[in-house]
Amino acid sequence: MWNEFKQFAMKGNVIDLAVGVIIGGAFGKIVASLVGDIIMPLFGLLMGVKTFSKLAYGSIKYGLFIQTVVDFFIIAFSIFLFIKLLNRFKKKEEPAAVVAKVDRSEELLAEIRDLLKEDKDFFRKNETS
């Protein structure tokens, strides 16, 4: 059982996922700092509020909620841009693979055609029997 787990854990996809989670966590902290320390204080200055984190209506802290929503949108937009960039590279690679498959199909069809030309007499003999 230990060996199965070891094989599973050492597969490329699991390691890629782990690296992605670690980088994602670090990126989340960077965005939280950007929003909390730079963006929200600037919005606060424009709105005449010192800090958004202290905005509340009774025990409902809507200032923290607004800050979390801004965090989410920045992270979501960054991921969107990253995926779009990756897809641009993937699209460039895919046509080459398709061309190779088409070329191989054409080669096989040409070979079949040549074999059929060689065996014309075989088909004629079998039709008369």
What is the DSSP annotation of the chain? -HHHHHHHHTSHHHHHHHHHHHHHHHHHHHHHHHIIIIIHHHHHHHHT-S-GGG--BTTB-HHHHHHHHHHHHHHHHHHHHHHHHHHHHHHHHHHHHHHHHHHHHHHHHHHHHHHHHHTHHHHHHHHH-
- Which amino acid is it at 12? G
User: What pLDDT score was predicted for residue 57?
Assistant: 87
pLDDT in tens, 53-84: 778 888 888 888 888 898 889 888 888 888 88
Q: Does residue 17 or residue 38 have the better pLDDT?
A: 38
Kindly report the pTM of this predicted structure. 0.53
Q: Does residue 59 or residue 126 have the better pLDDT?
A: 59
Whether the per-residue pLDDT at 88 is higher than 80: the answer is: yes
For the segment 96-118, the average pLDDT, to the nearest whole number, is 74
User: What pLDDT score was predicted for residue 123?
Assistant: 59
Domain ranges of the chain: 2-92
58-76 in b/e form (b: 16+ CB < 10 A) is eeeeebeebbeebbeebbe
Q: How confident is the model at residue 104 (pLDDT cuts 50, 70, 90)?
A: confident
4-13, 34-43, 55-64, 70-79, range with the lowest pLDDT: 4-13
